[in-house]
């Protein structure tokens, strides 16, 4: 794995997609937790709503897979475009006024997530010698979903912040944060 990391650092066409995916994993790798919170706290749709939101992301991922199958070649510029699209969709989803609008945005989130992942994977696999990057590549995905909630929780506790609320919340729709 160390040889793979040394190789990645020496090659920008391998390093930057790896960094991009590591950031992706850290900030958006917990979508299942986010969807559970939206289903219960924002839209009051319960377990059925959570299942619907997950299914919508899955349909979006299928669309992303179909689009990805037609891509001939990806470059770093394409990866940055997919990452920017994913970021913009997450910001739009935070302001979604209804669950229907949120579901429409989730289609795009599912598609752009899969496009980013598969494009970054193929970019690295084509740039690196066979078998040299698998361990390093897998390690970029693994710590993100595990480390990011802990990091956010530590930061919130250390700065005495209460949990952030989605932008679409009105006092009537979102429960108050528990007192600190």
Give the start-to-end residue ranges of the domains of the chain.
2-158
- Helices (H), strands (E): how many in the chain? 8, 0
Please give the pLDDT value at position 180.
Answer: 46
Please give the pLDDT value at position 161.
Answer: 43
DSSP tag of 38: I
* Residue closest to 23 by CA, chosen among 173, 176, 145: 145
Residues in the chain: 180
Q: What is the pLDDT of residues 57-90, one digit of tens each?
A: 999 999 999 999 998 888 888 899 999 999 999 9
* Residue closest to 25 by CA, chosen among 149, 158, 154, 166: 149
CA separation, residue 180 to residues 44, 67, 73, 148, 163 (Å): 24, 46, 51, 22, 10
Average pLDDT of the chain to the nearest whole number: 77
């Amino acid at each position: 794995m160390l040889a793979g990391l040394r190789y990645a650092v020496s090659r920008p066409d391998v390093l930057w997609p790896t960094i991009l995916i590591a950031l992706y994993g850290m900030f958006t790798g917990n979508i299942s937790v986010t969807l559970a919170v939206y289903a219960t706290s924002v839209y009051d749709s319960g377990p059925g709503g959570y299942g619907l939101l997950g299914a919508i992301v899955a349909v979006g991922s299928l669309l992303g897979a179909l689009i990805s199958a037609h891509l001939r070649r990806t470059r770093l510029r394409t990866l940055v475009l997919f990452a920017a699209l994913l970021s913009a969709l997450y910001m739009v989803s935070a302001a979604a006024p209804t669950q229907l609008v949120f579901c429409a945005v989730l289609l795009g989130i599912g598609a752009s997530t899969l496009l980013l992942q598969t494009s970054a994977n193929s970019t690295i696999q084509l740039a690196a010698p066979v078998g040299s990057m698998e361990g390093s590549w897998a390690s970029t995905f693994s710590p993100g979903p595990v480390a990011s909630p802990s990091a956010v929780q530590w930061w919130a506790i250390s700065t005495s912040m209460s949990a952030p609320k989605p932008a679409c919340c009105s006092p009537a729709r979102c429960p108050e944060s528990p007192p600190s």
